Amino acid sequence: MKKAYLVFKNGKIFEGFSFGAEKDSVGELVFTTSMVGYLETLTDPSYKGQIVIQTFPLIGNYGVIPEDFEGEPALSGYVVGEYSKKPSNFRCEYDLDVFLKEKNIPGIYGIDTRELTKILREEGVLSAGIYQNPPKDFKQLENFTLTDAVESVSSQKVTVYEPIGEEKHSVVLIDYGAKQNIIRSLTKRGCKVTVVPFDTSGEDILSMSPDGVMLSNGPGDPADNVYQIEQIKKLIGKIPIFGICLGHQLTALAMGAKTVKLKYGHRGSNQPVKDLIGGRTFITTQNHGYAVVPKSIPSGAVLKYINANDSSCEGILYPDKKCFTVQFHPEACAGPHDTDFLFDDFITMMEEEKNAQR
């Protein structure tokens, strides 16, 4: 039980125990309220540059199951209250400590995660570091900024995923840090999915003649992605588009809306979202620190979903542009699956566009 330290940029220090990689690491300290799915959290590229606190007290109890991974880990550190050293699950292949060491991610346990979460809820997200020994100064923490977030997690080559069963549609997925279950959600619906890097031009995408375009989730400040926003402008109105998380934010920016950084973001699998048109409330999984400003949504666009807790924007329809986007994750794995139907809506939109062109 080797000591480790979680250090805030204001100098506040929490003492715990080290597991995973024995290294120092700095990032943006955030918390997730998910009670299950820690493997999906650890392998979500959207956590690039962040040190993640799990508010659920016991983590690692079902070990590591590679089949459940969503992507390549990109987070900077992992903070848990209690780390289970003896996992028990028939699918478990090894434990969490081994996983973190393999991925070079430092972890710390034995910390009061409730107190940490209360601090972030009151003060907002802030930079922090996991250290093997307390630092002598805090300049590294004070100067921390996340750069090239999307570039560092996007695929660098074109990859094609064949549909399960008969091919019904072809979809280009722009990878800003895509989760694997987005691909699975499309292929099981008969879509051939072509995953392209984040910097693929709008012209190149249109030259592939897809039936639709999927804009994935991803990390960082959406406003930093100037080139990507310009490419989306070339696609809107020409082809059916479905955007998730960062893809939702980039589309809004391309249409002239604005984004803002939330005080502590929405991260977890219990976020309530209200459908302003249908009236129903869904429970969703979310992982984002920025949101679209509702009052900045352009004329012609429709605010369809809002967060039931803080009324922030959760989804927009662009009726005249063959496009809709959501802030939450309808492909959520390990759940909930309340909004999985949005992939069916995307399929319907592509079918309607095909019929209109005949």
The catalytic site residues sit at 245, 329, 331
- Residues in contact with 226: Cβ distance below 8 Å, sequence separation at least 6, in sequence order: none
d(CA 19, CA 342): 39
Q: Name 30's bridge partners.
A: 52
Radius of gyration of the chain from its Cα atoms, rounded to whole angstroms? 20
Beta-strand runs (E) in the chain: 3-8, 13-20, 25-32, 50-54, 58-59, 77-79, 82-83, 106-109, 126-131, 159-161, 169-174, 191-196, 212-215, 241-244, 259-275, 281-292, 302-307, 313-318, 323-326
Q: Residue written as tokens 């967060």? A: 307
Q: Judge whether 314 and 273 are in contact, CB under 8 Å.
A: yes
> Which residues touch 190 (CB under 8 Å, ≥6 apart)?
163, 164, 165, 166, 167, 168, 169, 347
Strand partners, 130: 6, 25
Orientation of helix 226-235 relative to helix 246-254, angle to 10°: 70
Provide the token pair at 252: 């809004």
Reading across the β-sheet that carries 313-318, which strands appear in turn? 159-161, 191-196, 169-174, 212-215, 241-244, 323-326, 313-318, 302-307, 259-275, 281-292
* Structure tokens given for 16: 């715990």
State the chain's maximal CA–CA distance in angstroms. Answer: 69
Q: Is the peptide bond before 294 cis (omega within 30 degrees of 0)?
A: no
